[in-house]
Amino acid sequence: FLAPGGTRIDDNDKTKMTSHCVFSADEDHDTIRNYAQVFNKLIRRYKYLEKAFEEEIKKLLLFLKAFSETEQTKLAMLTGILLANGTLPALILTSLFTDNIVKEGIAASFAVKLFKSWMAEKDANSVTSSLRKASLDKRLLELFPANRQNVEHFAKYFTDAGLKELSDFLRVQQSLGTRKELQKELQERLSQECPIKEVVLYVKEEMKRNDLPEPAVIGLLWTCIMNAVEWNKKEELVAEQALKHLKQYAPLLAVFSTQGQSELILLQKVQEYCYDNIHFMKAFQKIVVLFYKADVLSEEAILKWYKDAHLAKGKSVFLDQMKKFVEWLQNAEEGQHN
């Protein structure tokens, strides 16, 4: 189809086109699927064609400008079906990140049609897991020119095109990447014993910049705070060490546990940590009481955790530890109401 340099060999001369060509087929999913099945059967029978076919498709994607809009649509549909049934690997999509087709909006438009076709065969999970395996999940923004490479633009474009699952997927991926970066930076600052005020300022700026909600941050903070210390191997000493360390950082946690959801996440993180690190099993109640006294946790959150928001991990041990304190909280609450 393509001469060197990406021009059309046929130059729209119909005599140079076979009558059995996907470009002259109806723009209809079932029709295009029939073409995909032919390629599929051929490649299964003649395995040596696999690599050559892959290279050919990559080349076609690189030079999409050579094709009319309807031809691009049919090619996108065909490619989507071939990706869905595993005839083509997701890595071929890197051809769509080429400057000349990105700038003209061809890449994004083609990708939308391709993903729709793929999802008509399988589902969003099939698409996202293939993208992940090919390490393309974080590169989807490259379908757009540099000045539009942001999550908002991507989300709007893909949602408007009826691909909300993919825009949600990208949001999650970006958020995970952001959290990893944030955790790394936080860990660094805590290990350097930066003043808490500075850490608070930094976290607030990052939350604002990356649109991170408080509940997403509190768990990170807990992890970083607990990773910032070399813990004593002796169980009888570790509780004391933990309380001293956490008392120092309670003001930091208090800033980011102003919502009920954040408090519950923190409680669950503490529970998980004490369960996973056997030396901390007996320290759980002491940590919770410390956080209560330091205004990190409210009585509502503790009672909610105790009643139905606790995790299964070490449940009986931790509920037993908390029993007396919870009773005290309940009595105090009743006393206030009387």
Please write the tens of the pLDDT for every residue from 236-294: 889 899 999 999 999 999 999 999 999 999 999 999 999 999 999 999 999 999 999 99
156-167 pLDDT per residue, tens: 999 999 999 998
Q: How high is the pLDDT of residue 21? A: 83
**338 confidence band (pLDDT: 50, 70, 90):** very low
Contacts of 61 (CB under 8 A, 6+ apart): 79, 92, 93, 95, 96, 110
Q: Which of 16-25, 49-58, 60-69, 314-323 has the lowest mean pLDDT?
A: 16-25
User: Average pLDDT over the chain, rounded to whole?
Assistant: 89
pLDDT above 80: residue 17: no
| Residue among 80, 74, 79, 82 nearest 23 (CA) | 74
pLDDT above 90: residue 123: no
Give the three-state DSSP class for 304: helix
The rounded distance, in Å, linking the Cα atoms of 338 and 334 is: 6
34-77 pLDDT per residue, tens: 999 999 999 999 999 999 999 999 999 999 998 899 999 999 99
Q: How high is the pLDDT of residue 168? A: 85
**174 confidence band (pLDDT: 50, 70, 90):** confident
Give the orientation angle of helix 235-255 with respect to helix 284-293, to 10 degrees.
30
Of residues 331 and 5, which shows the higher confidence score?
Answer: 331
**Class level of CATH domain 193-337:** mainly alpha
Of residues 96 and 125, which shows the higher confidence score?
Answer: 96
Place of tokens 């890449």: 107
The rounded distance, in Å, linking the Cα atoms of 220 and 205 is: 15
**125 confidence band (pLDDT: 50, 70, 90):** confident
Place of tokens 């438009």: 109
Contact criterion met (CB below 8 Å) for 54 and 92: yes
Instruction: Look up residue 30 and give its two tokens.
Output: 């079932």
Q: How high is the pLDDT of residue 8? A: 56
The rounded distance, in Å, linking the Cα atoms of 270 and 287 is: 8
**114 confidence band (pLDDT: 50, 70, 90):** very high
What is the mean pLDDT of the segment spanning 69-88?
95
The rounded distance, in Å, linking the Cα atoms of 134 and 86 is: 13
pLDDT above 50: residue 198: yes
Q: Which of 127-136, 208-217, 323-332 has the lowest mean pLDDT?
A: 208-217
The rounded distance, in Å, linking the Cα atoms of 38 and 34 is: 7
Predicted model pTM: 0.59
Q: Which of 16-20, 21-25, 59-63, 139-143 has the lowest mean pLDDT?
A: 16-20
> Looking at the chain, how many residues does it have?
338
- Break the chain into its structural domains and give their ranges: 14-173, 193-337
